[in-house]
């Protein structure tokens, strides 16, 4: 079946879903209580993974025709943010798995999408950075490569990879000069886990390295990264992988930062240094806390505004490079602002935040690690600036 070029009207795609935010809020005590166990195991503990699967929450963004909830930007944001308030590592693994599962449902050909989503406990991990190679073969591709940062990889059933198409030893280029990147998804048994996740933040995500040995991948389990259009599902899938990723990274950042401020506010009522009043009565702290609250609220509003604008354009089939740039810029800004908020909380927490086992310290470490991600690193400021100023090419497609 060829790709669907005209997706159904949004009014024909209403999905009756349970109270997804309520489901997550009910799970929050379990997620919170499991945070230390996640770090000890270097992966989200099985009890939490099972609870997410039991409520089908990994399918929050999956097309309804494949058993998903097709949540909109605002609902998905609220759900991921609520998980992040409970534990950053769980939220990071959850948002990565949910987004990658949705991408499989929306962009893979029929046979591949149905195969991936057939298992009610399906979840995907990996990366689509072009670190592997793909050579055209009859009915698909011969691929191989080594990849990293498979967040949630230790509980995933499928792994992604990004593969540069090569022909006669040369990389195949698209009309605009970009390499043709083939995104492939493989069953977990077809990849070799390499470990190598020894970090100071997001410890519980199990973001392992992995290798894809040379093998054949059927075309039904691949799509071209730069030229693919959604084959099924809500028109918002025209936001693309990057647009969906903006939801996840922004919601993760604001959720963890919110937890840091909540922890600090509770601590401030009793925290004091010798000979001083309680922290909550310190005018310097009061001013810093208010500034942090303002930073967080502004960053959250900016992200939601920019991402919802991209969603509206996707529904209208009117996505522009500028709208993509604004969503990516807002996400990067939010990641940085959230880290600054957590740094304020850590600084005023004194020895409480210094000690291992502190939730506030974990928030600071998780946001520090998350802000290092290539999706929100310093290069995205430059890339967005060049595009918005009209002096550079659109490098924000992915």
Report the 3 state secondary structure along the chain.
CCCCCCCCCHHHHCCCCCCHHHHHHHHHHHHHHCHHHHHHHCCCCHHHHHHHHHCCHHHCCCCHHHCCCCCCHHHHHHHHHHHHHHCHHHHHHHHHHHHHHHHHHHHCCHHHHHHHHCCCCCCEEEEEEEEEEEEEECCEEEEEEEEEEECCHHHCCEEEEEEEEEECCEECECCCCCECEEEEEEEHHHCEEEECCCCCCCHHHCCEEEEEEEEEEEHHHEEECCCCCCCCCCHHHHHHHHHHHHHHHHHHHHHHHHHHHHHHHHHHCCCCCCCCCCHHHCHHHHHHHHHHHHHHHHHHHHHHHHHHHHHHHHHCCCCCHHHHHHHHHHHHHHHHHHHHHHHHHHHHHCHHHHCCCCHHHHHHHHHHHHHCCHHHCCHHHHHHHHHHHCCCCCCCCC
**212 in the same domain as 112:** no
Residue 8's pLDDT is what?
Answer: 45
**28 in the same domain as 79:** yes
CATH code of the domain covering residue 254: 1.20.140.10
**132 in the same domain as 15:** no
Tell me, yes or no, whether 398 lies in a domain: no
**243 in the same domain as 174:** no
Beta bridge partners of 147: 210
**151 in the same domain as 279:** no
Residue 16's pLDDT is what?
Answer: 64
Tell me, yes or no, whether 397 lies in a domain: no
Tell me, yes or no, whether 230 lies in a domain: no
> Mean pLDDT, consecutive 10-residue segments, the chain of 398 residues?
40 66 98 98 98 98 97 98 98 98 98 98 97 98 98 98 97 93 98 97 98 98 96 97 97 98 95 78 96 98 98 97 94 98 97 94 98 92 89 64
> Distance between CA atoms of 395 and 359, rounded to whole angstroms?
37
Residue 99: CB atoms within 10 A of its CB come to 24
Residue 275's pLDDT is what?
Answer: 62
**220 in the same domain as 147:** yes
**363 in the same domain as 239:** yes
Is the CB of residue 76 less than 8 Å from the CB of residue 308?
A: no
Residue 305's pLDDT is what?
Answer: 98
Last residue of a domain, one of 73, 92, 117: 117
Give the range of the structural domain holding residue 66, as residue numbers without chain letter: 10-117
**379 in the same domain as 290:** yes
What do you get for the CA distance between the two ends of the chain, in Å?
Answer: 25
The tokens describing 138, both together, are 């009859």
Last residue of a domain, one of 90, 117, 144: 117
Last residue of a domain, one of 190, 224, 258: 224
**383 in the same domain as 260:** yes
Residue 14's pLDDT is what?
Answer: 53
Tell me, yes or no, whether 395 lies in a domain: no
pTM strictly above 0.85? yes
Q: How many domains does the chain have?
A: 3
């Amino acid at each position: 079946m060829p790709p669907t070029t005209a997706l159904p009207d949004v009014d024909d795609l209403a999905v009756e879903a349970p109270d997804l935010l309520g489901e997550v809020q009910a799970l929050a005590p379990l997620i919170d209580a499991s945070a230390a166990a996640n770090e000890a195991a270097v992966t989200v503990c099985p009890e939490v993974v099972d609870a997410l699967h039991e409520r089908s929450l990994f399918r929050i963004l999956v097309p309804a025709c494949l058993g998903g909830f097709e949540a909109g930007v605002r609902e998905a944001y609220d759900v991921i943010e609520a998980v992040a308030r409970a534990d950053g590592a769980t939220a990071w693994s959850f948002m990565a798995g949910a987004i990658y599962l949705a991408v499989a449902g929306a962009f893979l050909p029929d046979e591949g999408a149905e195969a991936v989503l057939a298992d009610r406990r399906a979840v995907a991990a990996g990366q689509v950075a072009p670190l592997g190679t793909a050579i055209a073969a009859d009915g698909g591709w011969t691929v191989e490569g080594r990849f990293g940062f498979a967040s949630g990889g230790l509980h995933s059933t499928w792994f992604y990879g990004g593969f540069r198409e090569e022909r006669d030893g040369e990389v195949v280029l698209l009309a605009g000069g970009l390499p043709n990147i083939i995104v492939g998804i493989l069953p977990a048994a077809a990849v070799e886990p390499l470990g190598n996740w020894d970090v100071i933040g997001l410890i519980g995500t199990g973001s392992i390295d992995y290798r894809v040995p040379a093998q054949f991948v059927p075309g039904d389990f691949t799509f071209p990264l730069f030229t693919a259009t959604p084959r099924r599902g809500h028109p918002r899938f025209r936001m693309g992988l990057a647009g969906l990723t903006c939801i996840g990274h922004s919601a993760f950042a604001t959720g963890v930062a919110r937890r840091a401020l909540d922890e600090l506010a509770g601590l401030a009522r009793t925290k004091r240094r010798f000979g001083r009043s309680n922290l909550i009565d310190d005018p310097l702290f009061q001013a810093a806390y208010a500034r942090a609250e303002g930073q967080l609220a502004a960053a959250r509003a900016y992200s939601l505004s920019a991402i919802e604008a991209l969603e509206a354009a996707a529904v209208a089939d009117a996505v522009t490079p500028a709208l993509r740039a604004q969503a990516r810029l807002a996400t990067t800004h939010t990641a940085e602002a959230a880290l600054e908020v957590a740094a304020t909380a850590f600084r005023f927490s004194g020895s409480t935040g210094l000690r291992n086992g502190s939730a506030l310290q974990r928030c600071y470490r998780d946001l520090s690690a998350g802000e290092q991600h290539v999706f929100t690193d310093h290069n995205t400021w430059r890339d967005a600036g060049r595009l918005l100023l009209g002096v550079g090419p659109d490098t924000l497609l992915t």
